[in-house]
Amino acid sequence: MNTESATLHLARIVLPYETAAKRGIHDPYHWHQRAWDAFPGREKDTRNFLTRIDQKEQGWQLLLLSSWHPERPDWCPDHPQNWGVKAIADSFLTHDRYRFSIRANPVIKRVQRNAAGERIRSNKREPLRTPGELLPWLERQAESHGFELIGTPRIDQTDHLHFSRAKDQRHGVHHLVDFSGILRPIDPISFRQAFEDGIGPAKAFGFGMLCLSPLS
């Protein structure tokens, strides 16, 4: 986001499942499109927000974190149970420890070689699946994003998220992993950037938002 001195805003949208179905919101790509509705007039700007989508009893819950101030989309009911925005004070990121959760898309780029054994360029990425792969991935992310993990994080869920784009008939799938645990910031600048910009790939599809709850 590149918003070191900007105020961050966290918006929460809860959309009943029936309403989402009527609006044609079925998968992460549809949510990616609809999230832009909270920032009218910025459709041509570089994306400046993170999202997370969860299934709740009341309906789909969409979290939006951005330095842009969000506005309630017309498809979101005008009710406190369905729409809310709060500013995040700078002091929120100055605590010693946090309970965290993150929905991530852990992948690795494998070395590709041709028939002669020569290394070739490739954008192919493979998902990491086992705890022996996933926990080291999270540890590497922590090290490069200014925090350390306290204890062993939990892997709360693994799943696959399918998406489709009607305009080019593209279909795809993302590997979803929910981590949770306790962390301690060790580099305030890198930690803030991780909070603002997210961690890992596929951020436009609802991955990478670091959800924090201060412990001290």
- Could you tell me the domains of the chain? 8-88 (3.30.70.1200), 92-214 (3.30.70.1210)
Q: Does the pLDDT of residue 7 top 80, yes or no?
A: yes
SS3 state at 16:
coil
More confident site: 170 or 85: 85
Residue among 139, 1, 165, 138 at smallest CA distance from 67: 1
> Are 65 and 13 contacting, i.e. CB atoms less than 8 angstroms apart?
no
- C-alpha separations of 78 from 10, 31, 84, 86, 190 in Å: 17, 19, 10, 16, 37
Which pLDDT score, from 0 to 100, does residue 102 have?
98
More confident site: 25 or 120: 25
Which pLDDT score, from 0 to 100, does residue 162 have?
79
Which pLDDT score, from 0 to 100, does residue 171 have?
74
Which pLDDT score, from 0 to 100, does residue 120 have?
64
Q: What is the mean pLDDT of the chain?
A: 90
CA angle 191, 89, 199 (to 5 degrees): 30
Tell me the pTM: 0.87
Residues belonging to the chain: 216
